[in-house]
Every structure is written in C-alpha cells, then in structure tokens.
Structure 1
C-alpha cells in the first residue's frame, strides 16, 4: 500500500516585507528637522519685526546726536569769529549796490578748519559767480545733517529778521543780546525742503521760522544752537509766542 499522502500540504501565506526601522527613523527625523527649521523661520521673523523699530530708533538717535555735534561746532566757530572780529558774522555780505554776495557759512570756514577752501573763494564776487561755482559744489560734512543728506545743500540756517542776531548785512555783537545768550537762537535746523547750497546767502525769515521750522527728519522737532553755544532740541509743537521770544535778541521777553 502506498504511503503517499493523497492530500497536498496547506500553502503558507506570503510574507509581507516590513519597513525597516531605519527608514522610519529617517522620516521622523526629517519631519522634525523641517518643523524645527520652519519654527526658526517664524521665530526669526517675529524677532526681526520686534527688533527692527529698536534698531531704527537707535540709528536715528545716533544721527540726531551727530547733528547736535555739527551745530556745536558751528556755534563754536561763530564764537571764535566773534573773538576775532568783535561780532558774530552778518547773515550775508553785500556789494556796493546792496546785492547779496556770500553767506555767514562762508565767513566762518576758517574757524571750521576750512581755511584752504576759504582762500579759494573770491569774496568780491557773488557766491554763484562762475569763479566760485565749483567751490559751491564742495560738500562740507559739518554743514550736513546725517538724517538729511543733501549733497552740497544744508538745513543749518539762521533766522534773518531785524529783531534777531542776524538782521541782514549788519553784524551783531554779544553785548547787543540783552535777552541773554542762553535764551536767544543762533542757528536752527530748517525743514529739508528749505535747504539751500551752503554758500548761498539765503536763510529763513521770521515768518518762515514761525510756521515751518521744527519739521525735520528728526522725530518731533529739530536741533538748534543758542547764542551761548549750547544745543537744544526745538519741538515742532512750540507755540508762536515762545518761538518769537527765542529769536528776538532784545525783546525783553
């Protein structure tokens, strides 16, 4: 008798290959790294948004300080001019017909370590005469507010008025400032749109000062030098009466 089993063996189910644990770990690590990178980007963006205003404020504070230092040097040059000539420089010089020639900014150049440049200027001819025009294009750092870089133009001006330290072509001495040098404006910072070439014999008048000055690129106002050489920040919200009293040299106010 045959001993062969007439029934075939039950076939085994096919084995499904398992994913290797190494591949699973790699996927998880990749997802974690991607999520972490995305989180860093989000956090970095938020941090940048928070820090940017602070950085900008710090930069503006530095520019405002440099502007203040510029005016300090200009005021010192004014006083050194006064020691030599017995008065502050006039707002402008004129020819025999009363035509404006040169600015006070030109006259104080030797006291700003710009003697060589000053020597090249023909003071008998207008500032914009062809012989002087090339010099007028020179950029002088102390005449440039870092918040308002305007090439050869400047926003540092005086207030030209019969009641101020700068009535025009007539120089004024400290003895004439009976309101007190610590109460009287010497040089102010004009709005950028009122900037003039530094050699130009033009500055703001009283009406312009009362209505426009204080609107600078500094937040809230602009710097100003007083006749005693000190520097103050002039708020754009100062009322007209106080502004007027700050300009007048002998208003008893």
Structure 2
C-alpha cells in the first residue's frame, strides 16, 4: 500500500503578487501625498493668519499709546551723521516702531534713532530674524549676508548704497547680515518712492493706513475698520523669483522703502506669480504688489484685527494699453505721474506715482478695501 505524498506548504509570494502589492502601495501613496501636502499648507496658512493677527494687534496697541497708526516710515533728517546714511530717504519701517508692542522691547532698546535705519549702528538689528514677520510658506525668506556697497551698475549686486566710514566698516568687513519680512503695510491704491523734498500734494494722495510719514487715526478710517486693509502678505519669494538682481535685497524688515515693507493695490494680488507678461521693469511699482506663496490668494489683516484670505479672483483694476515711461502696463482709471525731486536724498526721475484720474473712477473691490476714507460701498459677499 502506497502512502500519499505530502503537500508542500508555500513559503513566499510569487513575483506577480509582489508587483501587485507594490503597485497598490504606490497608488495609495500617490493618493495620500496631495492630502498630506494640503494639510501642511493649511497649517502654514493658519500660522500666517496668526502672524498677521499679532501684527495687527500690535499696530492697534501702538495706536492706543501714540494716538495714530505707525507710519510706513518717518523721513530721514538732514542732520544725520555725515557719510554713513543710506542714499534712500525712507527711514525705519513700521515694524521697527512696533517692536515694543510685539514683545521685542530688547530689540527696540537697541535701535539708535539718531541714525537712519541703514546707518551702520543699526545694521545689527537688521540682521535679527523675527518669526512673527515670516510666513511659513514663504520659504525663500532666509537671513542673508549682503554687501555694504553696490557695484557701479545699479542692481547688479544687492545691498545698500553706503558712503562707508572706515571706522565703522573696517576693511575687509564690508558686509552685513540682513533679515526680511513676508508682510507689508497697506499704503492704499498705490505706493511709491518718497522724498522729504517731494511735493506734499502728491504725498497727500496716499489713501491707505500705513504710509510714509503717516499719522492715520482709528477715527480717520471712515470706511470702517472691518472694510479696510491694515497689512497684507508681501512675498519675499516672489521678489526674488521675478527680479533676482533686485529681489535679493528687497523686503528688508527694518526698512521703510515702499518695496520693502509697504504694498499698494495698484496691481492685482499675486501679479508676480505668473502674470509677468505686462512687466518689463521690476524697479518701481511691481515690487510693492501684495502676494503670497499660498495657492489661490493671500492673507490680509483688516483694521478691526481680523484676518481674511483674499482670492486672486477678487474684483480688481484691469490692465489697459497705457504704459508708463518704462513700458510697463498701467491699470485702467489711473494716471501716471512723474514727481520731480532733487537734492541729496533723491535722484532725478526716481520718484513716481499712480493716482486715480478723478474721484469717480471705477475701483475694484480690492482697491476699495485698500482705501481708508473713499466712502465706497462694499458688499460682504464680494470678497
């Protein structure tokens, strides 16, 4: 009698089964990865919202103590120590003035207000990074080492234009550390370079909340604090991407220059993210455009302390065939204004402005939210 052969037990997977398992795992990972990335971006956007809320509360505390909102900068005086001030007239940014209200009293005490923001004694604070001023999604926003002087060709290398004093900048230490910001104050429907020698009638056209030599009070925001921007995102990453020769040094957190810590609503949100067909020169107004690294829009803090996400699709001025002297497209309902300026704080033709042609010019919802006292009616479902 013959015994039955014992059956052999399987000890592993076949090649086909293994490949099927790997394929299933790959599909699951492919499905899960976008969800993980979306969750991470949602967390970064939430942190950005919190940053803007803290900045807005700091500005309101500043207003309570000083009787007005912080100015975008306060112009440099003519009696600064000679030879070491920046050629730019704008002085300390609104963020420097707000330091005591941002739990940064030690840094505020280190500021030497007898010198300009770009004066050598103030370079140390310029290199201090404040996490509240950095959007987590703005990943290009890292502290950099900048040269203290530019090359002869403007914009070829980043940095300030110092007449350096050897006693303050001993050779070869002709560089300094600089930190940046992802946020900017709302200057209104436009933002432009400033000179204390500029025509005051042009300066008076600022219709935002935070601008050069500004003294806006809460009562002066007659459009309503819940309908007026105070701060918005101003992505360092967009500045670097679109104009590396300038963007490397644009966005300095302690500088009051319009392309550093101010934004205007002249151009749509995130114009610099893929809408560069109309951009020929990055030197003047485009760098003061609001934008972010968040998909679809940017965060804005309102004067009531709330923070809202504004979509790229919000109603805004459209471009026209009109151009400025640099060949860049300018929006409808605007007029290009060249401001003549002269003196030690200015360059001929450097200071430019855009302003509405008349009080009845059509404003987009975005522009309406940027004005503090335009008297516009804005529906809550329009943004």
Question: What's the CA shift string for 1:12-39, capped at 9, x where partnerless?
Answer: xxxxxxxx867xx36x533x35544433
Q: Please say if residues 101 and 125 of structure 1, whose CA atoms lie closer than 8 Å, have aligned partners that are also in contact.
A: no
For 2:297, which of 218, 221, 225 is the aligned residue? 221
Aligned-pair distance for 1:117?
Answer: 0.8
Q: Secondary structure at the match of 1:222?
A: strand
Q: Structure 2 vs 1, CA of residues 107 and 214 (structure 1 numbering), >3 Å: closer, same or farther?
A: closer
Aligned residue in 1 for 2:347: none
Aligned-pair distance for 1:123?
Answer: 1.9
Paired residues, number: 230
Aligned residue in 1 for 2:253: 198
Aligned residue in 2 for 1:246: 369
Aligned-pair distance for 1:95?
Answer: 2.2
Q: Secondary structure at the match of 1:232?
A: strand
| Structure number with higher helix proportion | 1
Q: Secondary structure at the match of 1:154?
A: coil
Q: Which TM-score applies when normalising by structure 2? A: 0.56
Q: Is 1:207 aligned with 2:207?
A: no
Range with greater deviation from structure 2 (137-146 or 164-173): 164-173
Aligned-pair distance for 1:164?
Answer: 0.8
CA distance in 2, matches of 1:146, 1:73: 15
Q: Secondary structure at the match of 1:182?
A: helix
Aligned residues: CA RMSD:
2.1
Aligned-pair distance for 1:206?
Answer: 4.1
CA distance in 1, matches of 2:17, 2:112: 69
Aligned residue in 2 for 1:4: none
Q: Secondary structure at the match of 1:41?
A: helix
Aligned-pair distance for 1:112?
Answer: 0.8
For 1:155, which of 182, 186, 191 is the aligned residue? 182
CA distance in 2, matches of 1:79, 1:209: 27
CA distance in 1, matches of 2:77, 2:119: 16
Aligned-pair distance for 1:94?
Answer: 1.4
Q: Which TM-score applies when normalising by structure 1? A: 0.84
Question: What's the CA shift string for 1:23-61, capped at 9, x where partnerless?
Answer: xx36x533x355444332221111000000000000000
CA distance in 1, matches of 2:234, 2:254: 16
The residue correspondences of 1:60-139 to structure 2 (distance < 5 A) are 60-97=41-78, 99-139=89-129
Aligned-pair distance for 1:128?
Answer: 2.0
Aligned residue in 2 for 1:166: 210
Q: Structure 2 vs 1, CA of residues 166 and 209 (structure 1 numbering), >3 Å: closer, same or farther?
A: farther
Q: Structure 2 vs 1, CA of residues 248 and 77 (structure 1 numbering), >3 Å: closer, same or farther?
A: same
CA distance in 1, matches of 2:121, 2:308: 38
CA distance in 1, matches of 2:315, 2:219: 28
CA distance in 1, matches of 2:211, 2:184: 13
Aligned-pair distance for 1:165?
Answer: 1.0
Aligned-pair distance for 1:105?
Answer: 0.7
Q: Structure 2 vs 1, CA of residues 228 and 127 (structure 1 numbering), >3 Å: closer, same or farther?
A: same
CA distance in 1, matches of 2:268, 2:256: 17
Aligned-pair distance for 1:198?
Answer: 0.8
For 2:11, which of 22, 29, 33 is the aligned residue? 29
Q: Secondary structure at the match of 1:63?
A: helix
Structure 2, unpaired ranges of 5+: 79-87, 143-178, 189-205, 240-249, 272-288, 317-363, 377-383
Question: What's the CA shift string for 1:65-112, capped at 9, x where partnerless?
Answer: 000000000001001101101111011011234922100011111111
CA distance in 2, matches of 1:214, 1:173: 23
Q: Which has the larger radius of gyration?
A: 1
